[in-house]
Amino acid sequence: MQYKQSKLVFVKDAILMLFGIGFITVIFTFLDYISNYLEVKDSSLLLKTGFLKVVRHEIQYNKINSITIEQSLFGRMFNYGTIVIVTGNNISGIKFKNIDNPEEIKNLIDEKMSK
């Protein structure tokens, strides 16, 4: 007689793999959370991203051309989103992802820009 491996073994392995991938995703999300930083100063905006490779952008308010907010369905439900800041000839803009209260921050930056 020929026997096949139990389907439960496959299901068990698939579930463990999903937990493993989920664990890795949680670690990367946490590292992203603790390494991203946005500061609205009096004369400029400071953006810091990265954990191993740190990138800092300090943008003077008079150099900002436009500010765009991108929000998904969950972003609108839980009030977070991506702020895109376009400066000079930079067409794609500088993206700062997963910011709490993006509309409030945009209004604060607009207020600083108008001074």
Query: In a 10 Å sphere around its CB, with 0-12 CB exposed, 13-18 middle and 19+ buried, how is residue 7 labelled?
Result: exposed
Supply φ then ψ for residue 106, to 5 degrees.
-60, -45
For the residues of 48-74, what is the DSSP string, one character each? EE-SSS-EEEEEEGGGEEEEEEE--HH
Do residues 109 and 97 make contact, with C-beta atoms less than 8 angstroms apart?
no
Quick one: 83 and 101 in the same domain? yes
Residue 3 bridge partners (DSSP): none
4-50 pLDDT, tens per residue?
555 666 677 778 778 888 888 888 888 888 888 888 888 899 888 88
Question: What whole-number distance in Å separates Cα of residue 9 and Cα of residue 5?
Answer: 7
What pTM was estimated for this model as a whole? 0.72
Which residues form the domain of 4?
A: 1-35
Question: What whole-number distance in Å separates Cα of residue 35 and Cα of residue 6?
Answer: 44
Range with lowest mean pLDDT among 4-18, 54-68, 70-84: 4-18
Quick one: 48 and 81 in the same domain? yes
Q: What is the pLDDT of residue 8?
A: 66
Quick one: 59 and 6 in the same domain? no
Quick one: 31 and 44 in the same domain? no
What are the structure tokens assigned to 85, written together? 């800041």
Quick one: 48 and 98 in the same domain? yes
Any idea what the CATH number is for the domain that residue 99 is in? Answer: 2.30.29.30
